[in-house]
Amino acid sequence: MKTNSSICHGCSIGCGLYLVESEEGEKRKVLHRTTSPMNEGKLCRFGTDLHTYYERETMINSVDGKEVKQDEAIKAAKESLKGMKPEELAFIALPGTITNEEIVSFLSLAAEFGCENVSFGFERFFGVVPEEAAYIIEKGLPFSEVDGASKIILFFLDPFVHYPLLARRILKAKKNGAKVIEVSFAKNERGIADETVLVVPTEVERIKEKKELFEDSLIIGELTPYTNPQLLSFMLWLNASTASRLFLLKPFLNSTGAFLLGKDSGRKDLFEILEGVEKGEIKALYLLETDLAGAMLGGEGVAETTSKLDLLIEQNAFRTHFDTAGITICSEPFFMKKGTVVNVEGRVLEIGGESEKGLQIMESIGKGRKYEEVHEEAKKRLGLGDSEINEFEIAVKREERKFEVAEPKIEKEEGGGAGEEYFLWYKTNPFFWNGIRAKNFVEISPVAMKELGLFRGDEVEIAQGEQKERIGFKISDLPQNLVLSEAKLAIKPLQGLLTRVETRRAE
Amino acid sequence: MRKRLAEEEWEPKILAFCCNWCSYAGADAAGLERRQVPPTIRVIRVMCSGRIDPAFVLMGLLEGADAVLVTGCHIGDCHYVNANYKTRNRYEFLKEFVDELGLEPERLWLSWISASEGSLFAEMVRDVTEKIKKIGPSPLRREWKK
Amino acid sequence: MEEVKAKMSRYYLAWAKDDAIRKKGANGGFVTATLVSALEADFIDVALVVKKKSVYEGIPVLTNDPEEIKESSGSLHCVPLNLTKYVVEYAAKKRIGLPTKPCDARGIIEQAKRRQASLENVYMIGLNCGATLHPLRMREIAAYYGLDPDSVVREEIKEGKIFLVSDEEGKEKEKWMKIDELEEKGYGRRDACKSCVTKIPTMADLACGNWGSNDEKKTFVDVLTDKGETLFKNAVDSGYVAIEEAPGKGIETRQRIDAGMQKRAASWKEKMDALKALSRSERFEFYVDALKNCIHCGACKEVCPVCACEEDAKCTGLYDERDSYAISMYNLVRIFHLMDSCIHCGQCEDVCPVDIPLTLIQRRFSERMQRHLGYTPGMDVTKKPPLYETELRWSAEAE
C-alpha cells in the first residue's frame, strides 16, 4: 500500500488529496487529505472519483497510425515540425493537467519553431480587458477573502455545480453574516442566495439598472473559453464603476500559471486557430494534453476540422477523441508528474510525482534543458524568489488597481429560427472539461414539461439547426423558456453559454 | 405526474401496500361487500408484505403521498413462513425514522388484514383519511410554481 | 502466560525495553514494541500504522518492516482518520495488527458482523482516545497561541490541555491552554470527538493509555481478550516489553478520568444538539434545509466505517439524479440504513464538501433507534442488532 499526496486537476481550485495504491500497484483509491488548505480534505464528485479518470486507456506512441518507440515518435515530430512554415503552425494547451515547467517548455518549443500561434484557451478575452485590468483574469483571490466578504454577488454562477468546493466558502461567509445575491437566469435550486436578480435571457443589458447592488461586493464569476466576451466586459464594467472586487474562477487547474508564464509570448485565440485550420491557413497543430474533441462543445465538429490538417501531433497521457492524429506521443498521467501549478487562489502547489517525462518529450524536440533549469525559470518568471514552496502561502498575490472600461453593450442574439423558443444554458463543471458526460439529462421548467406534453421517463430532443441531441430531463424551478444542461450536448453555443434551441418531446 | 392543486380541492393521497394473499384480498372484499372506501386510497399490490422495502415507503412519501399504509397477513398467517415478522421489524425502524424526520406519526400505518376483513380495510382507510385531513398535506410533497 | 495469570489481574503498567522505542513512543512505546514483537513472532503478517509526515499530517501505512513501525510511533492528534476500510481491504489476505482508537475498533467490529472482515485476522491494540483534531483547526490553535503554525514541531494533549511546541530559528517555544477554555472560544476538537462517550476501547484486544499510569514513560494496559493476552504475553516473553502490576490507585484514576470525560462528552452532546429545542415541523425544516446542499458526491458513504455496501448500494442505487424530491433518496436511505449501526465517528462530516452537519443528523436518528433497540453498535462482535435476523417461527405469536 502506497499513499501519495496529489492534486486534483478538475478545476482551478486544485484540491489536495491522496492517491492510495494497493500492494500490487493496481487499484488506485482517493483518500481525503485533511491537511490541504484549499479544500480541508473535502472533494467534489470529480475529486472523489479521480482514480477512475486515471484508469482510462493510455496513449500510445505512434507515427501515421503505426505504433513506434517513443524516441522515434519524438524524432518524427521534430522532423515534421521543422518542415513547416512558422505561420502554418499552432500550439494549443488547455492548462488543465500541465505544470508550470511544462508551460515554460511548451512556450519555448513554440518559439523554437518561430510560431506565434500559441493558445491556452483564453486569448479571445485579451482584446476585451484593458492592460490595467489584466490582473483580474490572470489571478484569483484567496478563499479567505470569500469567507470574510460582507456581500457576495454570484454572477451567473452556481457554485454547487461549477465549483463545488467554492460553495462551502460561500456558505461559511453566509454564516459570518455575508449577504449573498445571485444574478442569474434562474434561481439557485439550493437557495444559496438571499436575493436573486433574475435576468431575462433577451434583456441581459438590464443588469446595469441594478448597478448599486454591486457596491462594496465581491463579485464571483467564471471565465471559460466559452464565456461570452461581452459578458466579461460587463463584469469588468460593473467592477470598475463600483467599489467592488471581481473574482473569476477558471475550469483549468493551471490557468493562472499559463496566464502569467505566457504573458510575453505570441498568442492566438483557440477559435481563431480552429478557423485558420478550417481555411487551410494553419496546417500543423501541436496539442499538449488537450483532448480538444473531448473538451469542446460540438466535439465532432472539432474532430472534423482537425482532419483537414497536414500534421497533428498529440502529446497526452490518455487516448483522446481524435483518431486522425499523425503523431502521438505518450506522456505520464498528471499525478505522476514532478512540477508545480498555481491555483486560482495564488498558491503554488507541488503535484507530488517524480516523473519528468512530459517535459522531457518537449525538451527533446526543443532546447534539451534539464528539469531543474526549467523549474528555476518558471519560478523566476512567476516571481517566486528562493523561498521553499509552501501550500499554506499565497505566493502569487494580486493587487487591486483602478481601471476604466467603456460601458458595454450586449448585442442581440443571432439565430432564433423558427421554433427555437428555448434558451439552452450550459452549466459547466469539472466533468465537462474532461470529456466525461456526468449527467444524462437536462433541466426544464414544470411549465415547459406540461407544454411539451412530457411524462416521467420521456426524453426531450434539443435541436439547433442541424445539430440535435436526445436526452432525459429533470424538473427544476426554472423560467419557462430555459433549458439548463450540466451535460455536454452536441450543440455548439452561438453566443457565450446561452443558445437558442428548439425543444420538443422525443418520439 | 405532478399537478398543482388549489388548497380547497386538496384531497389526501394515501398509498397502501397490500400483500397478495391477505390484505389485497381484504381490499377486494371491501369492494365486493359494497363498503364505502374513500377514493383517497391508491393500492400497490405486492406478493408479500415482506417485499416492502422501507425505501418504497420513503419513496412513496417523497412522491407526494400524504400517508402510507403497510398492510399484510396477520402474524403467523404469512404465506412465506415468517416474512411479515420482517415487515414488523422494518416498521419499527420506519416509525422512528418518520417521527425523527419531523413528519407526523399519522402518516405511517401498519396493519394486518386478512382476506375476509373487508370491513376492517374500509374502516381503516376512512380512519386514516380523516386523520390526514386534519393534519393537512405532507410537507415532503413538492409543489411547483406556475 | 501462567505467571501473568497467577497475578489475578488484567491491568498492567508496561513499557518498551528498547531505549529508542521507549523514548520516541508515547508513554514508553508499549504499542510499538508490541507490534514489532508480534511481527517477529509471526502472529501478524503486517502492521497497519499511521506514519507521521508532519505534526499535522499522517498517512496510513501497511508494513512488515519493524523499522517503519518504529518510525510511526508516537501519538498524532491531528489525523482524524478511520482505519476500518483498510482493515476490510487487507484482512482477507493478511493477518493485521494495528493500533485502534475506539472508533476504529468499533468500525472493524461492525464490518466483522457484516462478514467483511474476520476478526481472527485482526489484532486490535486499542488506544484510549480523548479526541482528535482537524489539522487545520490545530493550525488555528497554533496561531491563537501566537506561534507560527508552520514551525510547530510537537503537539501533545495531557491533563486536559493542548501543548504546542514550536521551533522558530532554533529557539523552542512551548505554549498551552486548557481544552475547555479553547473550546469556549470556538477552537478545539472535532464535533464528533467532543460528544463521543467511548473513550476507552474496551471492544479491542488491548486497551492502552496513560490514564492511571504513574510514569510518563509507562503505559497502562488493560488486557481484554484471549488474543490480547497472546499479544501481551508474547511481547513480554520476547523481551520487548517490561511490565509491572498496575497499582490499585491507577485503576481508580483511570476509571475516574474516563467517567469525567464521559460526563463532559454527554454535556457537549446536549449543548451541540441544535434540534433539541425545535418543534416537529421546525425539525423537518432543519433537515430539508441542511440536506438540500448535498451535491451527491458520495464521499460520506465512501468513508463510512460501518457501511459495507461497496458499489451495489441501496442509497446510490435508488437515487436518481432526475428526481426533484425535497430530500433525496440518497440521503434518506443512507440515514435510514445507519440507524442501528452508526457509531458517531464523524468521518462523513469531515469529508462533506458542503459542510452538512452529518454527525448531528446521523446521531439524532441513530441514537433514538439504538435506544429503542437497547443496542450499541461496535461493542461486541457476537451481538447483532436485535432485529437483525428474524427467527423462524411456525406458530402464531400473541400480538
How far apart CA C113 and CA C121 sit, in angstroms, is 14
pLDDT for position A344: 95
Nearest C-alpha in B relative to C372:
B96
Asked if residue B3 has pLDDT above 70, the reply is no
- Maximum CA pair distance of chain C? 80
Distance CA B32, CA C361 (A): 47
Question: Does residue C4 have a pLDDT over 90?
Answer: no
Place of cell 518542415: A83
Instruction: List, for residues C244-276, the tens digit of each pLDDT value.
Output: 988 889 999 999 999 999 999 999 999 999 999
Q: Which of A443, A450, A452, A482 should be substituted to probe chain B, the one whose Cβ sees the most B Cβ atoms within 10 Å?
A: A450
Cite the DSSP H helix spans in A434-485.
446-451
Question: Which of A447, A455, A456 is opposite residue B146, by nearest beta carbon?
Answer: A447
CB contact under 8 Å between A456 and B144, yes or no, is: no
CB nearest A455 (choices: B1, B144, B145): B1
Nearest C-alpha in A relative to B2: A446
Are A112 and A366 in contact by the 8 Å Cβ rule? The answer is yes
Residue C16, classed as helix, strand or coil, is strand
**What are the cell numbers at A144?**
479567505
Beta bridge partners of A154: A182, A220
Q: From CA B87, how far away is CA A123, in angstroms rounded?
A: 64
For chains A and C, what is the number of CB pairs under 8 angstroms?
97
C290 to chain B nearest CA, in Å? Answer: 12
Asked if A446 lies within 8 A of B2 by C-beta distance, the reply is yes
Q: Average of pLDDT values for C193-214?
A: 92
- pLDDT for the residue C399: 42
- List the single best residue of B2, B5, B62, B143 to mutate versus A (max A Cβ within 10 A): B2
pLDDT beyond 50 at C1: no
Reported ipTM: 0.91
**Mutation target vs A (from C88, C90, C323, C355; most A CBs, 10 A cutoff):** C355
At A306 the pLDDT is 86
| Angstroms from B96 CA to nearest CA on chain C | 7
Radius of gyration of chain B (CA): 15
* Residue C280: closest C-alpha in chain B: B102
Task: Tell me which residue of B41, B14, B15, B115 sits closest to B72, measured CA to CA.
Answer: B115
Pick from B58, B81, B85: which is nearest to C329 by CB? B58
Whether B2 and A455 lie within 8 Å, measured CB to CB: no
Does residue C393 have a pLDDT over 60?
A: no
Tell me what pLDDT residue C6 has.
Answer: 38
Residue of B3, B4, B143, B144 best to disrupt the A interface, most CBs of A under 10 A: B144
* Alpha carbon distances (Å) from A260 to A38, A213, A334, A343, C337: 21, 32, 21, 12, 50
> Looking at beta carbons, which residues of chain A come within 8 Å of C134?
34, 40
Tell me the pTM. 0.92
C74 and chain A in contact, CB less than 8 A: no
C310 Cα to chain B: minimum distance (Å): 18
Phi/psi of residue B53, nearest 5 degrees: -70, 140
Query: A-B interface: how many C-beta pairs under 8 angstroms?
Result: 10
> According to the 3-state scheme, what is the secondary structure of A66-133?
EECCHHHHHHHHHHHHHCCCHHHEEEECCCCCCCHHHHHHHHHHHHHCCCCCEECCCHHHCCCCCHHH
Residue of chain B whose alpha carbon sits nearest to that of C389: B86
Closest Cα of chain A to B144: distance in Å? 7
pLDDT at C8: 40
Which ranges of chain A have pLDDT less than 70?
25, 299, 412-418, 494-497
Looking at the predicted structure, is the pLDDT value of residue B5 above 70?
Answer: no
- Nearest CA-CA distance, residue C283 and chain B, Å: 5
Q: From the CA of C286, how many Å to the nearest CA of chain B?
A: 9
Under a CB-based contact definition with an 8 Å cutoff, are residues A476 and A460 in contact?
Answer: no
Testing the interface with B: which of C336, C337, C340, C366 to mutate, by most B Cβ within 10 A?
Answer: C336
At C143-170, the pLDDT tens digits run: 999 999 999 998 988 888 899 999 988 8
**pLDDT score for C74:** 80
| Residues composing chain B | 146
Query: Cα distance from C134 to chain A (closest Cα, Å)?
Result: 7
Grid coordinates belonging to A158: 452556481
Neighbours of chain C (3+ CB pairs under 8 A): A, B
Q: Shortest CB distance from C390 goes to which of B76, B82, B103? A: B82
Instruction: Report the run of H or E that residue C125 belongs to, with start and end.
Output: strand C122-127
Which residues are registered as beta bridge partners of A462? A469, A503
C89 shares contact with chain A (CB less than 8 Å): yes
Tell me how far CA of residue C288 lies from CA of A393, B145, C273, in angstroms. Answer: 38, 19, 17
Contact C69, C148 (CB under 8 A): no
Distance between CA atoms of residues C42 and C95, nearest Å: 9
In this complex, do C336 and B58 lie within 8 Å of one another by their Cβ atoms? yes
Listed residue (C214, C255, C258, C257) closest to C12, CA to CA: C214
Selecting from B82, B97, B140 the residue whose C-beta is nearest the C-beta of C365 gives B97
Whole-number Cα distances in Å, A272 to A96, A177, A261, A263, A268 = 20, 45, 21, 18, 7
Residue with cell 488474543: C227
Residue entry with cell 510560431 = A115
8 Å CB contact of B100 and C397 = no
Instruction: Calculate the average pLDDT of chain C.
Output: 89
Which residue in C297, C311, C316, C350 has the most chain A C-beta atoms within 10 A of its own C-beta, making it the best mutation to test that interface? C297
Q: C309 in contact with B at a CB cutoff of 8 Å? A: no
Q: Which of C56, C90, C322 sits opposite A35 (nearest CB)?
A: C56
Contact C257, C33 (CB under 8 A): no
Residues of B with CB under 8 A from a CB of A: 1-2, 144-146
- Which pLDDT score, from 0 to 100, does residue A417 have? 63
Nearest Cα residue in chain A from C289 = A190
| C326 in B contact zone (CB under 8 Å) | yes
Return the pLDDT at C7: 39
Element (H, E) at C381: none
Lowest mean pLDDT among A17-26, A488-497, C33-42, C279-288: A488-497
Chain B residue whose CA is closest to C285 = B102
Kindly list the structural domains of chain A, giving each domain's residue range(s) and its CATH number in brackets, ordered by start: 2-53 (2.20.25.90), 62-122+255-381 (3.40.50.740), 126-249 (3.40.228.10), 420-505 (2.40.40.20)
CB distance B100–C391 less than 8 Å? no
Do residue A165 and residue C302 have CB atoms under 8 angstroms apart? Answer: no
Tell me whether C65 touches chain A (CB under 8 Å). no
Percent of chain B scoring above 70 in pLDDT: 93
